[in-house]
Structure formats: C-alpha cells, structure tokens
Amino acid sequence: MTESGMAASTALTGSTAQLKFRDPVRGKALAKALEKVTRDVGRAPVSVMHVCGSHEQSIAKFGLRAILPAGLNVIMGPGCPVCVTDTPEVDEAVVLAGDGVRIATYGDMVRVPGTMKSLGDMQAEGARIDVIYSAAQVVELARDTAEDVVFFASGFETTAVATAAIALMPDLPDNLSILSAHKYIPPVMEIVAEMPGSKVEGFLAAGHAAAITGYGIFERFVERHGIPVVVAGFEPLDILAGLVELVQLVRDGTPKVLNAFPRCVSREGNRNAQGQLWKVFRATGGRWRGIAHVPNGNLRLRDEFARLDTRKKYRIDLRRLWNHAAPALTQLCVCGDIMAGIAAPTDCPLFGKQCVPDTPVGACMVSSEGTCKIWHQYGGVPRL
Amino acid sequence: MCLGVPGRVIAVEDQIATVDFWGVVRETRLDIVDEPVAPGDYILNHVGFAIRKIPASEIGETLALYEHLMKEAEQDMMAADVRAEIAGLGQAGEGCDD
Ligand code: SF4
C-alpha cells in the first residue's frame, strides 16, 4: 500500500508513508470504514462488481470476503481473460496446431478447452506448442526456426499493447503471424450495466488496464449509466480503500470516476501505448465465452497488418471440429453465469467433482484468475 | 495476471532495458513505456514490456509488497504468478495474459 494510494481514500488520515500493504491495523480501520459507509446507504444489499481476476485473487487469498460487511455484495465480473476467450477462438489454434503449425501462447491458454480439444491435448498428440511469457519471445522463436509460428495472443488491453508493439517491430520474420483473441474491457462493462436485472451499482476497475487506458476512459460510461467507477490496485488495502470510495459514491448518489491507484494510473493513461494499440488493432464485436456478444469487445488486427494476421494467412476450417458433438460435460458448465455475477461455482454440479484444476471442464477452472480455480484453491469463499 | 512486476533498471540499450528483479536480471522492452527510462529507474513490467515508470516515491512500498508476496507459501497462486512473471521474463513460464 502506498501513500498516494491511501491518500485517495478519505477513510484514512495522517501519515501513511510507513504503511505496509497488509498492515492489519489499517486493514481493520478500512474494514470498519467500509462497514460504516455500507450501513449509511440505508438498504441492503449494496452490490458492486469488480472486473479483474487479480482482484478476485486478492480477495480470496487474503480472506477479504470474511471482513466485508454483510450488506455489501462484491460480485466477480468477467475479468479473467482466459475465461472469456471464446471456444471458436481456441478451436482456431487447435486446428492450426493439428495442421503442424507451431503455436506460441501464454501458459494458461494451453489448457483452455475448445469444442473438442485444448492446445494441451494437441501437444500430447505431438503438436508443437510453445509456452511463452514475454510477447517478445515469439519473435525470437520465429527467427530461430523455419517452421510457421502463430502467436495465439489473448488478454485484455494491458497485454494487447505488448502484441501491438511486436506487430510494429521492423523486419519481422515472414513465418510469424498473430492470431488475436485479445479483448477490450470497457465495452463489457456496458453490457453488464445494461443486463436486465443487473444489480450492479458500482464498478471496481482494474488498475493495470487503467494504467494503459487512463481512468478518463470511464467518464463517459459513468455519465451514460449513472454508475460510479473506482480504479483500484491489487493489494488488500488497495481493494478495501477502493471499496470504501465506491460505496461512498453509491451512498451519496454521486456517480463519478475516482482513482484509488494513483501510483500506476493517471487520467490520460499511457498515451504511447494507446497510440500503438489503436494503430495495430481495431475494436470489433465478438462473443465473450459465456457472457454475450460484446460490441467492440474484441481486438482484431487492422487491414494494414493483414500480412501478420493468421486469419488472413491461413484458411482455418473449424468444421472438422464441429462435426462432433461437444463433450456433454461442458454443457453443464455455468462459467458464463458466474462471470455475469448471477451464479457461484457452488451452483455448478461439476465443481470440485468432474471439474478440478487438473482436469478442467470450463475455462474458469483453468486460469489462476478464474473464479472456479480460485474458489477451489482457497476452499471456496461462501458469503460470510 | 495483471499484477505486473516492478524492477530496477541497470542498463538501457536502444529499446531494451536490463532490469534487476530482486537479483534476477532480465531484459525488458521499452517500446510501450511513455517516459524516458534510465539506469536507476524503477519500471512496472508486464509480459516482457515496461508499461510504466514507477514514481520514485512509490518504489519502497511497491517492492515491499512483492517481496512479501514472494515469501508466501509455495502453493500460493498469487506468489507463484509473480515468481513465474520474474522467472519468465526471459524464458517460458506459466504467465499472465491480461
Ligand atoms: S466448476 Fe468447471 S464446469 Fe463448473 S462452472 Fe466452473 S469451470 Fe465450469
């Protein structure tokens, strides 16, 4: 926890320079403050949503749910990029892998189930799947081989800017192309806000995505929907402080954007990164797994980058996969409802039984940011 | 995962910085960060790219957080993610992709 991070919260006074991120005294003070502002709202429950898997991880890991006031409902939104990667997107990579193309992707993507198979299954059958950490590794990988390399690129805007930077590098090897499954967060907040029966009264926005886009991006959203947005970091005290601010805004009926993560986020964000992002990508409508068709929710390569676009370079025929019926178990997966905030993992008959981290049925059990995996790891987090 | 990892810049050559992440020295690309980066600066790393220069006043606390996270139990996913993020700066690893 940092000085400026805390200074943004009206719940604390005095010097916070020595503040440790898990300082229990400050944590308790914030929890008390949260309880008070929640009570001040005068009705229950107050429902807010976070849209970042890392927020859920912190909440589960540090047991924050246990100290959240009973009247406050913190809903997990569609914040796990692996989980919202749609099945056909995984299928595209699976088909290419089956055709002998080498696939480079981030770790969690290997186990995300497609319609029939995951990339991990393809690897077991002999396909070349390279797990990368840094986006820049794909360039080295392509330079070092004569084989075709496809960068199966997933993640939100924070990660998409790294892909954009790659696309803008001079002298990229011809054997490299990009299969973009990147997603853009702001439009899905609109979807959730407009869902019939949506109870979301405020959003806790992800600090690192906002580091790129700036918190100014949420101003129009707030104007349109009258719902407050607070940008928060990932330390427990960051989250508590962000929640205090958010519930204050709900209580006061003053929808606006507040930045509770000033050490990483400014109003304008990282202009350079935005420039690169929109030079390479355009936002287009597409499905988010389990959520909905999200207008402008998918990031796809612009025509100027067609030579780098896997979808232009290959004819990817998904019908071979779709001739088979989908495995019956996946039809029971309620990942989508969980991400939309209307179900919990314990509502799923497979949770902890047929679906566990080693043999995930749905994407929410794959990623360390997936709600089902987090609940499984931390023994579940019932409403306390 | 979107924690990002902060590190101290040792050297800068063109668009590549050599960065010390608690003794693990890795290269990080500077194509994205919007401020000039020089040796001694701290940066926030995400999938091998610096996404932000961290203001000097924030460094102590941020580092303390990650140091603490890294000491958490081995089973801990968040700590594992941060470790993987560091280990993976130059090699394959279970990574974050948001
Ligand atoms: S437990 Fe598995 S099958 Fe059930 S909702 Fe979660 S990911 Fe889907």
Rounded mean pLDDT, A184-203: 86
Q: Which helix (H) or strand (E) holds A293?
A: strand A292-301
Domain over B5-87 is classified CATH 3.30.1330.30: no
The pLDDT mean for chain B works out to 71
Q: CB of B81 within 8 Å of any CB in chain A?
A: yes
How many Cα atoms are found within 13 Å in the side-chain-facing hemisphere of A176?
25
CA distance A259 to A261: 5
pLDDT at residue A22 in the model: 60
Q: Of A87, A291, A333, A337, which is best to mutate to test ligand 1, by the most ligand atoms within 8 angstroms of its C-beta?
A: A333
Rounded mean pLDDT, A280-288: 94
CA distance A135 to A309: 16
CA distance A256 to A251: 12
Rounded mean pLDDT, B10-24: 90
CA distance A341 to A204: 14
Q: What percent of chain A has pLDDT over 90?
A: 47
What are phi and psi for residue A301, nearest 5 degrees?
-65, 140
Ligand 1 centroid vs A291 CA: distance in angstroms?
A: 14
Q: Which helix (H) or strand (E) holds A372?
A: helix A371-377
CA distance A161 to B45: 12
Give the pLDDT band (50/70/90) at residue A374: confident
Q: CB of B24 within 8 Å of any CB in chain A?
A: no
* pLDDT: which is higher, A170 or B96: A170
Q: CB of B56 within 8 Å of any CB in chain A?
A: no
Ligand 1 centroid vs A114 CA: distance in angstroms?
A: 14
A335 lines ligand 1 (CB under 6 A): yes
Chain A: residue whose CA lies nearest to B93: A133
pLDDT at residue A380 in the model: 56
- Which residues in chain B are closer than 8 Å to A263, comparing Cβ atoms? 54-55, 58, 62
Classified as helix, coil or strand, A288 is strand
pLDDT at residue B69 in the model: 54
Rounded mean pLDDT, A246-269: 90
Q: Any idea which residue has 């000033």 for tokens?
A: A262
Rounded mean pLDDT, A252-274: 90
**How far A276 CA lies from chain B's nearest CA (Å)?**
8
Classified as helix, coil or strand, A361 is coil
Give the pLDDT band (50/70/90) at residue B91: very low
Ligand 1 centroid vs B95 CA: distance in angstroms?
A: 21
Classified as helix, coil or strand, A132 is strand
Look at B88 and A133 and tell me if their CB atoms are within 8 Å.
Answer: yes
Look up the ipTM and state it: 0.72
Give the pLDDT band (50/70/90) at residue A246: very high
CA distance B57 to B55: 6
CA distance A56 to A371: 7
* Model confidence at A323: pLDDT above 70: no
* Model confidence at A18: pLDDT above 70: no
Nearest to A353 by CA among A321, A376, A320, A378: A376
**How far A355 CA lies from chain B's nearest CA (Å)?**
18
A372 lines ligand 1 (CB under 6 A): yes
In this structure, the residue with its CA closest to atom 3 of ligand 1 is: A333
Give the pLDDT band (50/70/90) at residue A209: confident
Look at B58 and A2 and tell me if their CB atoms are within 8 Å.
Answer: yes
Classified as helix, coil or strand, B14 is coil
The domain locations on chain B are: 5-87
Give the pLDDT band (50/70/90) at residue A175: very high
> Span A84-183+270-322: which CATH code?
3.40.50.11740
* Model confidence at A342: pLDDT above 90: no
For B76-88, b/e burial (b = at least 16 CB within 10 A) is bbbbbbbbbbbbb
